[in-house]
Amino acid sequence: MKFISWNVNGFRACLQKGFGDFFNAADADIFCMQETKMQPDQADFSPEGYHKYFHSAIKKGYSGTAVYTKKEPLDVKFGLNGTHTDEGRVITCEYEDFYFVCCYVPNAQNELKRIDYRMEFEDDMRAYLSELDKKKPVVYCGDLNVAHEEIDLKNPKSNAGNAGFSDQERGKFTELLTAGFADTFRRLYPDVTGAYSWWSYRFNARKNNAGWRIDYFVVSERLMDKVKDSKILKDIEGSDHCPVELDIEF
C-alpha cells in the first residue's frame, strides 16, 4: 500500500498549483492533507474511486485535515475521543488490519505562546495512539510540527528553543517513540542529512535547502518490518511543505 501525507497550506490554493496532477500520478491508496484552511464544501475535488473525509476548524480559513482513501474505512472519527475537535486537527480511519491517523499538530507559536496547549495535545495524542495500538497497529502521520533531532533541520544551533525545536516539543516526540512507535524515515535512513519537508518562504530557503523535517510517518513498532520505504518527495511543489510517502505491505 502507498500512503501520502502533505501539508498543502491551503487546499484551494494548492489545487491551482498542480495538485490534481500529482494526486493522480501518485495513485496512493490513502492520501491525506493538513492545513486545508477550508470548509468541506469549498473545494471541488472528488476523484473517482476515492472516499473523502474532511475535518475543518470552526475558525474559517484555519487549520483543517482531509483524507482521501480508495478503500472505505470501517469507521471514521474526528478529534481525540471527542476532544480537540475545534481546530479540525485529527482524522482516524479504521481498517481491518490497522488504524490510520492523520494529524496537524498545533504550532507552539513565536515565543512558545501556545506551548501549554501543545503539551496537552501531545500527551492526549500519545495516550490515544497507545489505546488504538492495543487493538491493532497504527499508522500516524502528518505535519507533527517538530524537528526531533539536530539532523532534522539545517540550522539547529540558531533555532534552539524556537517553536518546533524546543526541548519540550522534542521531548514529547521522544516520549512517543519510547511508547512503542517508530519514525519510519529516520529508522530507515539514520544518517541521511539535508532531508527536509518544510522550508520558509523567506530567504530563498527552499532553493538553498535550509529546511526542517517536520512531516512524518510514524508507525507501531511491530509494523516496521512491513515498511518497504519512507520517502520525502522534495521535488513536489505547491506548498511550503512537500509531501511524504510511506510504502508498506500488510
Q: Is 53 a residue of the active site?
A: no
CA distance 189 to 142: 19
Question: DSSP class of residue 155?
Answer: -
Q: What is the mean pLDDT of the chain?
A: 97
- According to the model, what pLDDT value does residue 40 have? 86
Q: Is 204 helix (H, G, I), strand (E, B) or coil?
A: coil
For residue 140, pLDDT beyond 90: yes
User: Residue 44 — very low, low, confident or very high, per pLDDT cuts 50/70/90?
Assistant: confident
Q: Where exactly are the structural domains of the chain? A: 2-248
Mean pLDDT of 22-50: 95
- According to the model, what pLDDT value does residue 41 have? 85
pLDDT digits (tens, 9 = 90+) for 182-239: 999 999 999 999 999 999 999 999 999 999 999 999 999 999 999 999 999 999 999 9
Q: Is 84 a residue of the active site?
A: no
55, 84, 148, 241: the active-site residue: 241
- Residue ranges at the known binding site: 7, 35, 143, 145, 240-241
Q: Is 143 a residue of the active site?
A: yes
50, 53, 133, 143: the active-site residue: 143
Mean pLDDT of 58-84: 97
CA distance 250 to 230: 15
Whose CA is closest to 2, among 250, 245, 233?
245
95, 104, 128, 216: the active-site residue: 104
User: Considering only the top CATH level, what class is 2-248?
Assistant: alpha beta
CA distance 239 to 230: 20
Sheet architecture: strand order including 51-55: 51-55, 65-69, 30-34, 2-7, 244-248, 227-232
Helices then strands, counting H and E runs in the chain, come out as: 6, 14
- Residue ranges at the known binding site for Mg(2+): 7, 35, 143, 145, 240-241
Q: Is 224 helix (H, G, I), strand (E, B) or coil?
A: helix
For residue 83, pLDDT beyond 90: yes
